[in-house]
Amino acid sequence: MKRNIMSEWSFGQLIANERKKQKVSGEILTQGIGTKQGLHKIEIGQMQCDKLFGDIVLQRLGRSPDKLEYILSWNEYRLECIRTWFEECVYKRKRKWAETALQLYERKVPRLGAVQRMYLDRGHAMISYWIDKDPAQAECWLVKALDDTFLQWSEPVWDKCRVSTMELENMLALVRARQEQGKSEGALLKRCGTYIQSYITDGEENAKIYSKYAWLAAKHASEEGNPGRALALCVEALDRLRRYNIEYFMQPLLNSILRYRRQCLLLAKKKKPEGIEAEAAAALEKTSGKCHYRGYLNAIDRLHKEFGEEWRPTDSILYNCTQKSYHLDFEILRAERYAQCMTQEVVSAGVYEHPKEIAKIENRRSAPQGRKFAVLMEKLGLEREKTSGFVVTDSFEVLELRKQIQGHINRHQYEEVKPLLGELEQKLDLGCAENRRVIHVIQNLIDLKENNRAYEELLQEDWEMLGETYFLSARRLRISPEIKIQRGKKQTYRAPMRNETDLINQIAILLENLGRKDEAIRLYEWVLKTFERSRVKKQWRYHSYGLMLENAAKVKCSAEESKEVLRYELSCGKAGSLPYNYLTLACALKDDSSNRETCRRMIRDVIHLYELSNNDVNKRIAEKYYRKNFRK
């Protein structure tokens, strides 16, 4: 049995360690949303908070909830679904259904605290702004939302409080509503900018909120006759999104960059006063040379036109890209019990008095909490708790380091990965099997890319590591992705978690490199079916489902599956894999001579998209492909 360390490295402990490191008191962190006593109970594991409250707490510490992988109960998951349904109704301009969704959320939420009231008022503001086209009414609702959780929002200094990115979004949406009524909100914008720079320390979280702030601050600067400042703000915001491959909100920033650049050019010709001319000249210099902002915008616009959903917003302050990793507790427990041929009596022993409690969990009538959930997972050989990182740690810096390594891997910058991998290894407790496996997978990927070890050796090691937690063998690739159980029925195995997905993907790559392409395809198809049969929406499995889907499309060189991947990526608001999948589609279409000119344009867009994603390696490959196939 593996050593279970969840009692040491729990979600509460992660919050406690981060709070103490930042020297933030419990009173300040929970101001307007709860009590320090309640926070203390969460930190020591005596009480569990709902996901929305947990997100707010993490964001107030400047950290991103998207760095974590969540195992939700059915009721928690339904609340997430209601929130998503509400957003979709708003942007589709369906007022009746949007109001119904808010009412349903209010009825279903276990406890209507300050955070939930804030969410409801924020929802009414969205209806007023997007459906009723009434910024004045939206302003009233946004003020109520801010008053629900952040009583000091109108004060001139915010140095003695902590604000979540969700609350910052409410403030920026308020600025937008007031701007559209002709009101100047320079002071509030300045406070937002200062706070973001000082306290939103997570890179991705900072990029998402800074892009919205910069877009509004640029509009304010332009109206005050300073397009140079406006241009500089938008360029910096775009650079932050590029660093983390976030596509959502790039379109309004690119449009603004082109507009303010034109204004700066006019200023330069008219020889305005020295201060403005100098700032405009500096901004112009930064946007000249090899930067192709028009090409970036055209490529993204075409992708949205061809593959995007019309209702999805491009410039909503209260909308975000999707990077969440969700699983359902009953799906995991049921699948693992069947796979390991364990009876309900065996699983419940020492946890529940009666085996029927396991049946209730598997049928979604109850949910295991706290220590009981940890013990059940331990019995099944999984080092997991309800909320955990992609490595087992009590430090957000380590989670950031893991994310940084993944960014370099996505850009094929393996020389950058090596020193960071050593640093990660030093900071992780390698007594935890999950952490040892993460290190091995990354090292094996480096060995694979640099041909340091035989493919067969790497493949064998990967199969063995995968088998520690995931019941999939090479033999099973030739049969249906279903597990036979004693009653004669069939039960689909569970969708893999993030680290399991990385292993499966590496196995498929090795199979393809060994000339066993058909087996690689069967493996991808097997795993994709587990996602399709799960009750979790695929958009909430970006890190795992997206990876499997795009690589399956590439191996099969399938035009239809490439289109599906592009639709999926755009729905999640991510940019990193867009050029990769657009190139796969172009290659699949190229053999048809009638598509030649379309493919030429697509490859040019691919080059711009790789440049936009700071992926120089793949950009050079795409340029070489273009010269070989389309240069006359």
Q: How far apart are the C-alpha atoms of 547 and 506, rounded to whole Å?
A: 11
Report the C-alpha gap between 17 and 385 in whole angstroms.
17
Please report the pLDDT score of residue 81 as a whole number.
96
Number of residues that make up the chain: 632
Phi and psi of 325, rounded to 5°? -125, 105
Query: What mean pLDDT comes out for the span 285-291?
Result: 68
More confident residue, 160 or 215: 215
φ, ψ (nearest 5 deg) of residue 556: -85, -10
How high is the mean pLDDT of the chain? 88
Q: Angle 299-304-308 (CA atoms, 0-180°, nearest 5)?
A: 150
The pLDDT score that the predictor gives to residue 541 is: 92
Alpha-carbon gap, residue 612 to 241, rounded angstroms: 10
52 pLDDT more than 80: yes
Q: What is the pLDDT of residues 252-264, one digit of tens each?
A: 999 999 999 998 8
DSSP designation for 128: I
Res. 157 pLDDT band, cuts 50 70 90: confident
Helix 74-91 vs helix 51-60: angle between axes, to the nearest 10 degrees?
70
What is the helix (H) or strand (E) element at residue 388, kind and residue range? strand 387-389
pLDDT class of 134 with cuts at 50, 70, 90: very high
Local confidence band at 472 (pLDDT 50, 70, 90 cut-offs):
confident
pLDDT band at 166 (very low <50, low <70, confident <90, very high): very high
If one compares 229 and 266, the residue with the highest pLDDT of the two is 229
**Cα(478)–Cα(11) distance, integer angstroms:** 40
d(CA 428, CA 435): 7
Beta-strand pair 325-328/68-72: parallel
pLDDT at 206: 95
CA pair distance 587, 584, nearest whole angstrom: 5
What are the residue ranges of helices labelled H in 162-224?
165-179, 186-199, 203-223
pLDDT tens per residue across span 313-362: 999 999 998 888 999 999 999 999 998 889 999 999 989 989 899 999 99
Helix axes 455-467, 498-513, angle to 10 degrees: 150
| Domain boundaries defined on the chain | 577-632
Q: What is the pLDDT of residue 5?
A: 40
Mean pLDDT of 10-25: 89
Q: Decide: 383 and 392 in contact? Cβ < 8 Å.
A: yes
Asked whether residue 615 carries a pLDDT value surpassing 70, the answer given is yes
Q: Who has greater pLDDT, 6 or 465?
A: 465
Write out pLDDT tens, residues 519-575.
Answer: 999 999 999 999 999 999 999 998 899 999 989 988 988 888 889 999 999 999 988
Secondary structure of residue 71 in the 3-state scheme: strand
How big is the CA angle at 72 (ends 360 and 107), to the nearest 5 degrees?
85
Average pLDDT over residues 219-232: 92
Q: Which two tokens stand for residue 183?
A: 């009101």
CA dist., res. 170 & res. 178, Å (int): 12
What sign results for the dihedral spanned by CA atoms 261, 266, 267, 269? positive
Confidence label for 488 from pLDDT (cuts 50, 70 and 90): very low
Q: In this predicted model, what pLDDT tens digit does every residue of 571-605 receive, in sequence order?
A: 999 888 899 889 888 887 776 666 788 888 999 99
CB-based contact 222:230 (threshold 8 Å): yes
What are the contacts of 96-103 at 24+ separation with CB within 8 A? 98/123, 98/126, 98/127, 98/131, 99/127
